[in-house]
Amino acid sequence: MKIERMNKGSWGKVRAFFDLATSDGFIIKGFKLIEGINGLFVSMPSQKGNDDEYYDTIWVESKQLRDELNTLAINTYNDSSISNSQPMNNTQNMGSAPEPETTGDNIASEVSTPVKETSNNSFSDDDIPF
């Protein structure tokens, strides 16, 4: 088992959506990491029925397998939150304006160096949390 993709955020009690890749080559989409009373746990993929109730589409019979999935998802969530916070700290000073240059006359001249924003505003289906 391996977590293929994890989309972190905060949607009510939901902290992340993720897909699970099995050793047989199946990718199961729609798992959720939920913040419950006793901490984080994995919610199985589900669909809304005709009676407006949600029903699990995946059932895990083995408690050992369910615990292994919970541990894997929580560890991946915690590891990716640490690695995502480090690059953000390194880019804090990138938007600062350059200091003016001085010429031989000790007169400050303006430097017109354009600062490129590196934000990626592309949108994909993976950005949708449902």
Which tens digits make up the pLDDT trace of 90-105? 334 444 444 444 455 5
109: pLDDT confidence band, cut at 50, 70 and 90? very low
pTM of the entire structure? 0.59
pLDDT at 67: 94
The token pair at 95 is: 């938007």
**Which H or E run includes 43?**
strand 39-43
Considering the domain 1-82 in this protein, what is its CATH number?
A: 3.30.1120.40
Give 53-93 pLDDT, tens digit per residue.
999 999 999 999 999 999 999 999 998 655 443 333 333 44
pLDDT at 37: 93
Q: Which residues contact 110 (CB under 8 A, 6 or more apart)?
A: 100
Alpha carbon of 66 to those of 25, 27, 63, 99: distances in Å?
19, 17, 5, 57
Alpha carbon distance 77, 5 (integer Å):
11
For residues 47 and 59, the answer to whether their CB atoms sit within 8 Å is no
